[in-house]
Structures are given as structure tokens and as C-alpha cells.
Structure 1
Amino acid sequence: MVNQMSGETVLVVEDEILIRFDIVDALTDAGFIVLEAGNVAEAVAILGATPDIRAVFTDVDMPGAENGLDLAQKVHASRPPVAVLVTSGHRRVTEADLPEDGRFLPKPYRPSQVIANLNEMVRAA
């Protein structure tokens, strides 16, 4: 059983709609308040309008000029306390690719892995 969070806000950034729906449902069931974006531009707009976001869970490969690694660096530069968890099924991401304290979780992942990582990261922040 994964410990549940009490109302922490997480932004999920994923362009594959079915994958996004699945993880949003799992995070909501685990007690997170979940916001959604389908690309980096949407995510940046949501981050700018929502000061209480505690974590971002983003895929690397997305449509548009910027990818999830670009977003991870932007989040860290503008809001260092926000936890950043990055995922990809196509790229190998190293620690050097991530912002300080960022984490990588390869696809396919289990929702429980995402929940456990976010719980741990938010508590540490």
C-alpha cells in the first residue's frame, strides 16, 4: 500500500491522452490535487497561474519547440522548491539531464511508482 498525500497539487504533463488520464486518475485516487497539460507551453501557463503546485510529473517527448527536460529546467530555475519527476519510454535520461533533486522514472511505470516518488519528493522539499 502506498502512503497517500493529503491534497498536494501536482501538474501532470503528458501529450498521450490515455497515458495522462491513467496517471491523473491514479494520482487523484491517492489524494493529490491534479492539474493537466499536454505540452510545455500549457504547463508553463498553468505553473504561472497556480502558485500552490508542489510537483511536476512530465514526459520528455512532447509536441512543440520544448520538451519535458526543458520544462524540468524551467521549473527548477523559476520555482526551485517544486519537485520534478521526469519519465520517458524512448530516451535514456541521466542525472546530468535533470535539475538538482530531479528524478527519472522510465516507462512503462506502475502508478504506484509515480505516487511513491512524488510522496517522497514533496516531503523532502
Structure 2
Amino acid sequence: MNKFRQKTVLVVEDEALLRFSIADTLEDAGYAVLEASSVLEAVGKLGQYEDIDVVLTDVDMPGALNGLDLARMVVECAPHIAVMVSSARRACDLADLPSAAHYLPKPFTPVGMLSSVGKILSLKAVEAEKSAASRRRA
């Protein structure tokens, strides 16, 4: 991740008003935002844009795939992208959450969401630096 580039968050939420609110909050905080209303739309965005830093997805999504499916795909296929999964109703599915993904319970405040996004970006930056350092030593 280039630390000097504006960070990009892909917001995956089927409830339009909530998605718009999350996107506005992130944009006001200086993030670039992409939006998707389904897992399939999110997969398309992931294939279309190279510079996505964080995927923030709801668990309950329309269609055959849910946010946990998306989280597993991103963690496996694009481990450089941070993943945050959010839900108000699906706490029992946390056992299915990939170990590299983070959980953000709903309802969340704008400050809480921004704090969580900042923390996972910091964690990814540390991981990337460690990985680069170990490659330099090898």
C-alpha cells in the first residue's frame, strides 16, 4: 500500500440510505469511496479497481452470496486488502469470519467506524512493512 495515496474504501451495503451515509462519512474524512449494493457488484469493483485498501461489507446481502462469503474471497484472493464485516443481527456467524477480517457491530457511530477503518489500515501498513523487510533480508 502506498502510504501517500488517498486510501480507497469499497462500501458493500444493500440498504441505500445507510450506504450513502457511510460513503459520505468516509469521503468527509478524506477517503476515496466506491459503492456496491451486492456481493457480485463488489466483486466487479474489486476486478475493476486496483487501489482498493479496505472492503467494508454488511453480512446480510441480497443474492446467493453474503458479506462473509465476500470477506473470505477477499482475504484469500487479495490479502493486501483489509476487510471489515458489519452486522446488527448476525453475531452468531462470527465463527465464520476469516481470521484476517475485522468485525464492526451495528449500529456504529461515524467516529467509531472511522476509528476502526484507521486502525485496520494501520495494521495492514505494519504487515506490509514487515513483509517488505523480510523480503529484503532474504
TM-score by length of 2: 0.83
Q: Which residue in 2 is equivalent to 1:77?
A: 76
Q: Shift of the alpha carbon at 1:90?
A: 1.2
CA distance in 2 between partners of 1:18 and 1:86 (Å): 18
Q: Shift of the alpha carbon at 1:101?
A: 2.4
Q: AA paired with 2:103?
A: F
Structure 1's consecutive aligned runs of 4 or more residues displaced over 2 angstroms after TM superposition are: none
Q: Shift of the alpha carbon at 1:6?
A: 6.5
Percent identical among aligned pairs is: 50
Q: Which residue in 1 is equivalent to 2:67?
A: 68
Q: AA paired with 2:40?
A: A
* SS at structure 1 position matched to 2:86: strand
The structure richer in helix per residue is 2
| Deviation sequence 1:32-58 (CA, Å, 0-9, x none) | 000000000000000011110000000
Q: Which residue in 2 is equivalent to 1:17?
A: 16
Q: Which residue in 2 is equivalent to 1:7?
A: 6
Q: Which residue in 2 is equivalent to 1:46?
A: 45
Q: Does structure 1 retain, via aligned residues, the 8 Å contact 2:75–2:100?
A: no
Q: Does structure 2 retain, via aligned residues, the 8 Å contact 1:85–1:105?
A: yes
Q: AA paired with 2:120?
A: M
CA RMSD, Structure 1 to Structure 2 (Å):
1.4
Q: Who wins on radius of gyration, i.e. which is larger? A: 2
CA distance in 2 between partners of 1:101 and 1:46 (Å): 21
Between 1:101-110 and 1:30-39, the stretch displaced more is 101-110
Q: Which residue in 1 is equivalent to 2:108?
A: 109
5+ long unaligned stretches in structure 1: none
CA distance in 2 between partners of 1:49 and 1:60 (Å): 22
CA distance in 1 between partners of 2:87 and 2:5 (Å): 27
CA distance in 2 between partners of 1:27 and 1:97 (Å): 27
Q: Does structure 2 retain, via aligned residues, the 8 Å contact 1:6–1:32?
A: no
Q: Which residue in 2 is equivalent to 1:120?
A: 119
| Deviation sequence 1:92-121 (CA, Å, 0-9, x none) | 042x32223211111111111111111111
TM-score by length of 1: 0.91
* SS at structure 2 position matched to 1:105: strand
CA distance in 1 between partners of 2:25 and 2:6 (Å): 14
